[in-house]
Amino acid sequence: MADLTSILHRLDRDARDGDDWGEVARYIPELAEVNPAQFAISVALADGRLLEAGDCDVPFSVQSITKVFTLAIALGRSGDQLWTRVGREPSGRAFNSIVQLEQEDGRPRNPFINAGAIVTTDEVLGRRQPREALGEIISFVRAAAGSEDIFINDAVAASETAYGHRNFALAHFLASRDNLRNTPEKVLGTYFHHCALEMTTGQLAMAGRFLVDGPAMPQLVSPRRIRRLNALMLTCGHYDGSGDFAYRVGIPGKSGVGGGILAIVPGQASIAVWSPGLNRYGNSHKGTEALARLTTRMNWTIF
């Protein structure tokens, strides 16, 4: 597939052409330091090959992309019981919206906004200590990626803990509505640490293969659950930009405020793209652009 390799190199060149990189997230001080003028893309194909271009050796903060992994783990532990605590509807609001949580009386709209991911993190914690739950999350991600070389950046986690006032507000509201089993401090300690996982686009594309559903892919969850996780990624994976992402890119995806996006072509490929500058929805600006072009060129779509 020389063709795909040359498309990826072309996307990398195009990304570096023009200086509208978008704005990096500033509310986590460690992320505000990242140079926005970076771009990487990796595609893990169902036949086992990994093709990539750009800054694909640079590990970045995957942030909300871990919400897909923690949801898979929470569903594995609790099954459909989880849905009594969190919904499955697009939010139409920013990832860290507070007002909606009050409107919905403490049941977050979906597991991919912050409030929902705080609940799934609480579910993954159960009665365990954060260290044990984080161990399970890292093991899952490493098994999916087929790499032991994936770690949490403690400085990023500490930086977010020190400035995470909105997430503390969300967690305390959840607790006030009786939707947290552990203390807000314990749940957020775990949440901030799994958000601070770092991966290269190559590692992330490999880790996403468990959502592709192909014979040579890691079988970490059932095919039915794979379809459901993909459905949630499509409808909720980009917050209030989810409709726009589905319209322009046409496949399920999950973004993170570090500028990464994991996108899945069912049965065919797992794609990771990274460029730290964000668009107005808080999703990677150049990353979204590149995915839109890639899926158009490859005719990759779920529609």
In 3D space, the residue among 211, 261, 209, 234 whose CA is nearest the CA of residue 64 turns out to be 261
- Comparing CB distances to ligand GLN, the nearer of 114 and 179 is 114
Give the span between the Cα atoms of 63 and 83, in whole angstroms: 23
Within a 13 Å sphere around the CA of 122, how many CA atoms are in the beta-carbon half? 23
Q: Are residues 263 and 291 in contact, defined by beta-carbon separation less than 8 angstroms?
A: yes
Catalytic residue among 62, 68, 124, 239: 239
State which of positions 10-49 bind ligand GLN (CB under 6 A): none
Residues paired with 269 in a beta bridge = 45, 265
Of these residues, 43, 61, 119, 191, which one is catalytic?
Answer: 191
Shortest approach of ligand GLN to residue 205 CB, angstroms?
Answer: 18
* Residues 167-186 interacting with ligand GLN (rule: CB under 6 A): 167
163 is catalytic: no
Q: How far is the CB of 79 from ligand GLN (least distance, A)?
A: 26
Binding status of residue 230 toward ligand GLN by CB under 6 A: no
Nearest residue to ligand GLN, by Cβ distance, number only? 64
* 167 annotated binding-site participant: yes
- Examine the residue annotation and report whether 286 is marked as an active-site residue of this protein: no
Which helix (H) or strand (E) segment holds residue 103: the answer is helix 99-103
Q: Single out the residue of 85, 99, 28 nearest to residue 60, CA to CA.
A: 28
How many other C-beta atoms are found inside a 10 Å radius of the C-beta of residue 224? 9
Contact flags string 251-270 toward ligand GLN, x per CB under 6 A: -----xx-------------
Helix (H, G, I), strand (E, B) or coil at 10: helix
* Residues marked as catalytic: 64, 67, 191, 239, 257
Which residues of the shown chain bind ligand GLN in the complex (CB under 6 A)?
A: 63-64, 95-96, 114, 160, 167, 195, 256-257, 282
